Amino acid sequence: MAIAPPPPRWLDLLARPEVSQAMGKLVRLHAPKSVLQRAIRTFARIYKIDLSESERDLSDFDTFQDFFTRTLKPGLRPVALDAKVLASPADGRLSAVGSLDNSTLIQAKGVEYSLDALLGGSQDADPYRGGSYAVVYLAPNNYHRVHSPWHGTVTQWRYLPGALYPVNSIGIQHVHGLFARNERIVGHCETEFGAAAMIMVGATCVGHMRVAFTDLACNEGNVGTGLQPCSPLLALQRGQEFGVFEMGSTVVVVSAQKGLQPLVPLGQPVKMGQALLGLP
């Protein structure tokens, strides 16, 4: 198995939580409306964001953070409902997909990382061995909310503090075990595919991640939680909101279901709710 080269010093510095905390404070500043709107329009033009999809008007945003975490107009993301199909949890790009026969996931060609490390322990990973996984990368231009790809119930969760390396091509190339080293929060579910979990992975400039099943604040110096019961249990329908990223990042989906196959080409853009994986 190939080993990625050690991260360069500048990348280690960029991964420090203080960098993303500072960015978080910046995007939550209340700038004059005219300045904020100009900044949002410039950002949208550079990253080719369709502002007409936003549920709120440009004048309704009070901070850049409001814009990053914007909701969409109802009906813009139809959700695949076929019981043999797992829907995409987010807008982004399908960056990896495969089986968990060896309890490993592919980070890049020839570079793997373990399911145990990703989820925080061997017992956490046991239900998914031999199953399937998919990774969706969210760029800064994407819609930043994450939704349930299945009908199911969140039964347990775990918060794993860590670094905040970038999850783009730079991080993929230089940081071995990237998604198992970055801060992340895991929601374990019982679904129509059996046991399944969704992992929201933090990244550089992702100041916070919020999820529907706990008020715990990410990237604020909190210690890891260990595996926690979800109390009360949280039932999620397909397309229901699971969590929110500030800026872009990555979502990893793992399932005990064997043989799930990609329904879009690897590396291609996907929309939240689009059929992502399916049974033959």
Q: Which residues are annotated as catalytic?
A: 91, 147, 249
Q: Kindly list the distances between the CA atom of residue 136 and the CA atoms of 97, 119, 147, in Å, as whole numbers in the listed order.
A: 9, 17, 12
Largest CA distance in the chain: 54
Q: Kindly list the distances between the CA atom of residue 4 and the CA atoms of 15, 49, 105, 108, 212, in Å, as whole numbers in the listed order.
A: 17, 33, 15, 9, 35
Phi/psi region, residue 250 (left: phi>0; alpha: psi -120 to 50; beta: rest), is: beta
DSSP H or E segment with residue 12: helix 9-14
Please report the DSSP string for 200-230 in residue order: EE--TT---EEETTB-PPSSSSPPP--SEEE
Structural tokens at position 132: 């399937």
Helices vs. strands in the chain: H and E counts, helices first:
8, 16
